């Protein structure tokens, strides 16, 4: 990591000045002046040496704080807490030989890691699921001290080839590490999405880097594709991974396929309600007494001050919300993401309680049977089943095969039990059945319970198995220069009919849609935090920008345009601000039409190019408008050093737009196709072509 230290820069300038040619002093200088100069020189040199020494030691301290704090803490805490950040010592102490690290943003990689860790018992091994953020990964070199030891990494890629938040420190360490990992055995499963430019970049990097550091790969890198069927990719890799482990270590499967509970249920009959979680993500009562800093484990409850429908017609509901962050110390920049923690629909929650004959208001805890685990509960406990199903558990996504496998034992009808086991098996027929009956039919857990009348699991085991409800990310649609005390969201409600005739609704967008400002005198609150992004306006306001964002992809550009307009008002020289926006119909879903027209009129928006895809027989998209203006686009890129920004759908739009840029560059830059591709890729590397896309 390079540190650009301003103190050093100033010192070097000063040192350069003090060493200037003495002949520049006037010839009539007296001896007295000369001696005065030499004294000044001496004083200056002493001052410089003193300052340099101070800077040197000060800099060391500055650098050492982030890099070595963890290690110092480990040493001091090892006597009192057993050195919790040392995973090798922990494995030795608890008799484990497999550690499964996960880099997870939405919980899937964590889920896969836990499944692999749980699998280990079938092979006479013991696994430890581990969050790299909680451990010191420099201990990896000591893993070979444990016989038949293995490190597995389930690594998701986030955004444009980035590590997930919890794997950032691990990634930084890997880049800078100069350790010998010979003797360490490893395997990697990556979680990615093929619609993204940097497919599975993190999984690929970890796999390659561990090998470079001397570790031995015992099974090939697995590449899961969320654009296809991530669950199937994982199962296919896993069913070949374990035989490879057995062969490498000379062990055999014990044949023990029985279900093992990870948590035990404790029902609290006379619990003090002040000690019961009611939806908080971290600290108990954190929603009653809010304390900064606010982050994923400590979200801020932001009041909704505005919630308006953006579209004039059509079947969809597109909305603009404003969240008040006054007094929260929450800071954001244009291009950042706001994460919100939604709540499940109470109707679905009640139906699950009803079908399982459970009292949802029972106060309970699920306690980890593995006392050494860092994860004491699957979600904040003690709490009620109602709270767990409303705020902590994902009840709307189709369950993964491991959930079906564990639930099968509770089906009293042999046929239903057989179907559940079949879907959880690795047989081709079983995979196909799971894909059609669960995934393609979008059956959530309630639909499965409704369609399998004999399946009535205990509600506590169901709560143990369901994945955590994740925060939803939205590109911020405002500029903090113009709106320092509010964050704007632009979203479209998700609602569709499944193959079984059920109406499925998006959790977060349905919940946000119902957030009415100050309803009956009560504030509508949204638990939120800000996630920093690389999607940034150019450092120099005079640099031109080309923004492409159809549909709700307009969101970050509303913030960008607001900021460029503000900079203009401050008297700054602002370069061309060009927007390519697209929607279905001008009269139905032209988002922020008034605002964009006004910005264009005032000159803050140099060009406003809008594609209405369905207002004519021939469909017109943003890439068609780019082609129409190709000469001007090339001029802005090549001569104006413009920055390009793309936001919206990754699967089709982002790819089509990128191909259009290849064509423009090839034609006007007189390049071959491979050269044009290379030119655009270089723009990406330089940070001049940025994407904020989703699939």
The answer to the question of whether 157 is labelled as a binding residue is: yes
The answer to the question of whether 472 is labelled as a binding residue is: yes
Decide if 294 contacts 308 (C-beta within 8 A). Answer: no
694 in catalytic set:
yes
The answer to the question of whether 675 is labelled as a binding residue is: no
The answer to the question of whether 642 is labelled as a binding residue is: no
The answer to the question of whether 83 is labelled as a binding residue is: no
Catalytic one of 117, 141, 365, 475: 475
The answer to the question of whether 107 is labelled as a binding residue is: yes
How many Cβ atoms sit within 10 Å of the Cβ of residue 620?
Answer: 16
Q: Pairing relation of β-strands 150-158 and 162-163?
A: antiparallel
The answer to the question of whether 516 is labelled as a binding residue is: no
- As a whole number of angstroms, the distance between CA 652 and CA 566 comes to 33
Classified as helix, coil or strand, 50 is helix
DSSP labels, 61-114:
HHHHHHHHHHHHHHHHHHHHH--TT-HHHHHHHHT--EEEEEE-SSSHHHHHHH
The answer to the question of whether 604 is labelled as a binding residue is: no
Which among 560, 562, 679, 557 is positioned nearest to 622, based on CA atoms?
Answer: 557
The answer to the question of whether 161 is labelled as a binding residue is: no
475 in catalytic set:
yes
The answer to the question of whether 327 is labelled as a binding residue is: no
The answer to the question of whether 154 is labelled as a binding residue is: no
What would the two tokens of residue 653 be? 């739009």
The answer to the question of whether 394 is labelled as a binding residue is: no
The answer to the question of whether 491 is labelled as a binding residue is: yes
The answer to the question of whether 351 is labelled as a binding residue is: no
The answer to the question of whether 193 is labelled as a binding residue is: yes
Cis peptide leading into residue 399 (ω within 30°):
no
The answer to the question of whether 645 is labelled as a binding residue is: no
Q: How far is CA 228 from CA 134, 232, 439, in A?
A: 32, 9, 11
The answer to the question of whether 34 is labelled as a binding residue is: no
The answer to the question of whether 400 is labelled as a binding residue is: no
The answer to the question of whether 663 is labelled as a binding residue is: no
Catalytic one of 55, 173, 566, 694: 694
647 in catalytic set:
yes
Classified as helix, coil or strand, 429 is helix
The answer to the question of whether 600 is labelled as a binding residue is: no
Which among 168, 182, 106 is positioned nearest to 137, based on CA atoms?
Answer: 168
The answer to the question of whether 620 is labelled as a binding residue is: yes
The answer to the question of whether 54 is labelled as a binding residue is: no
- As a whole number of angstroms, the distance between CA 182 and CA 312 comes to 64
Decide if 516 contacts 506 (C-beta within 8 A). Answer: no
583 in catalytic set:
no
Element (H, E) at 627: helix 622-628
Q: How far is CA 344 from CA 392, 469, 534, 635, in A?
A: 9, 9, 31, 50
- As a whole number of angstroms, the distance between CA 473 and CA 479 comes to 17
Catalytic one of 381, 533, 647, 690: 647
Which among 189, 181, 244 is positioned nearest to 209, based on CA atoms?
Answer: 181
The answer to the question of whether 279 is labelled as a binding residue is: no
The sign one gets for the Cα dihedral 104, 108, 110, 112 is negative
How many Cβ atoms sit within 10 Å of the Cβ of residue 670?
Answer: 9
The answer to the question of whether 233 is labelled as a binding residue is: no
Catalytic one of 207, 324, 336, 692: 692
- As a whole number of angstroms, the distance between CA 104 and CA 10 comes to 42
Write out the binding residues for FMN: 104-109, 156-159, 191-200, 226
Where in the sequence numbering do the catalytic residues fall?
475, 647, 692, 694
Write out the binding residues: 104-109, 156-159, 191-200, 226, 316, 442, 472-475, 490-492, 496, 506-509, 552, 613-614, 619-623, 656, 694
Write out the binding residues for NADP(+): 316, 552, 613-614, 619-623, 656
Write out the binding residues for FAD: 442, 472-475, 490-492, 496, 506-509, 694
């Amino acid at each position: 990591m390079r540190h650009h230290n301003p103190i050093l820069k100033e010192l070097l300038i000063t040192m350069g000045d003090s060493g200037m040619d003495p002949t520049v002093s006037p010839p009539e200088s007296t001896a007295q002046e000369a001696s005065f100069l030499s004294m000044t020189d001496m004083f200056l040199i002493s001052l410089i040496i003193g300052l340099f020494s101070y800077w040197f030691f000060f800099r060391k301290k500055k650098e050492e704080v982030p890099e070595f704090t963890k290690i110092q803490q480990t040493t001091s805490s090892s006597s009192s807490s057993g050195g919790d950040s040392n995973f090798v010592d922990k494995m030795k102490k608890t008799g484990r030989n497999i550690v499964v690290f996960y880099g997870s943003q939405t919980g899937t990689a964590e889920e896969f890691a836990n499944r692999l860790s749980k699998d280990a018992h079938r092979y006479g091994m013991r696994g430890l699921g581990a969050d790299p953020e909680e451990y010191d990964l420099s201990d990896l070199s000591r893993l070979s001290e444990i016989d038949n030891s293995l490190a597995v990494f389930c690594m998701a890629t986030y955004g444009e080839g980035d590590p997930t938040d919890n794997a950032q420190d691990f990634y930084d360490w890997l880049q800078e590490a100069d350790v010998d990992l010979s003797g360490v055995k490893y395997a990697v499963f990556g979680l990615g999405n093929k619609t993204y430019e940097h497919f599975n970049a993190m999984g690929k990097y970890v796999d390659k880097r561990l090998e470079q550091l001397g570790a031995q790969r015992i099974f090939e890198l697995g590449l899961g594709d969320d654009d296809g069927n991530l669950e199937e990719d994982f199962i296919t890799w896993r069913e070949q991974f374990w035989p490879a482990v057995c062969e490498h270590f000379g062990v055999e499967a014990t044949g023990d396929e029985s279900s093992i509970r990870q948590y035990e249920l404790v029902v609290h009959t006379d619990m003090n309600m002040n000690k019961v979680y009611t939806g908080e993500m971290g600290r108990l009562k954190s929603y009653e007494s809010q304390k900064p800093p606010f982050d994923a484990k400590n979200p801020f409850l932001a009041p909704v001050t505005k919630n308006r429908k953006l579209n004039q017609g059509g079947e969809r509901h597109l909305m603009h919300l404003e969240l008040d962050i006054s007094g929260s110390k929450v800071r954001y920049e244009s291009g950042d993401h706001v994460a919100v923690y939604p709540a499940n629909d109470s109707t679905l929650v009640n139906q699950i309680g009803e079908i399982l004959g459970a009292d949802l208001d029972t106060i309970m805890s699920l306690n980890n049977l593995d006392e050494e685990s860092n994860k004491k509960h699957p979600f904040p406990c003690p709490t009620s089943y109602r709270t767990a199903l409303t705020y902590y558990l994902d009840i709307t996504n189709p369950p993964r095969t491991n959930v079906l496998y564990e639930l099968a034992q509770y089906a009293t009808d042999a046929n239903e039990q057989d179907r559940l086991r079949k879907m959880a098996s690795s047989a081709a027929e079983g995979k196909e059945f799971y894909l059609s009956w669960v995934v393609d039919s979008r059956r959530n857990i309630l639909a499965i319970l409704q369609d399998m009348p004999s399946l009535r699991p205990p509600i506590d085991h169901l709560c143990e198995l369901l994945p955590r409800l994740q925060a939803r990310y939205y590109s911020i649609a405002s500029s903090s220069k113009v709106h320092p005390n509010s964050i704007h969201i632009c979203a479209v409600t998700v609602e569709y009919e499944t193959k079984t005739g059920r109406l499925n609704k998006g959790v977060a967008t349905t919940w946000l849609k119902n957030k009415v400002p100050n309803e009956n005198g009560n504030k509508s609150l949204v638990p939120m935090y800000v996630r920093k992004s690389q999607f940034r306006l150019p450092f120099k306001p005079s640099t031109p920008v080309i923004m492409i964002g159809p549909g709700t992809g307009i969101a970050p550009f509303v913030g960008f345009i607001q900021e460029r307009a503000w900079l203009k008002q401050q008297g700054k020289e602002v370069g061309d601000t060009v927007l390519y926006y697209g929607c279905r119909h001008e009269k139905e879903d032209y988002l922020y039409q008034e605002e964009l027209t006004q910005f264009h009129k005032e000159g803050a928006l140099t060009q406003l190019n809008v594609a209405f895809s369905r207002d004519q027989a021939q469909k017109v998209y943003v890439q068609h408008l780019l082609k129409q203006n190709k000469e001007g686009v090339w001029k802005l890129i090549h001569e104006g050093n413009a920055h390009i920004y793309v936001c919206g759908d990754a699967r089709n739009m982002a790819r089509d737009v990128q191909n259009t840029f290849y064509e423009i560059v090839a034609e006007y830059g007189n390049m071959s196709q491979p050269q044009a591709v290379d030119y655009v890729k270089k723009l990406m590397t330089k940070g001049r072509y940025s994407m904020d896309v989703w699939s």
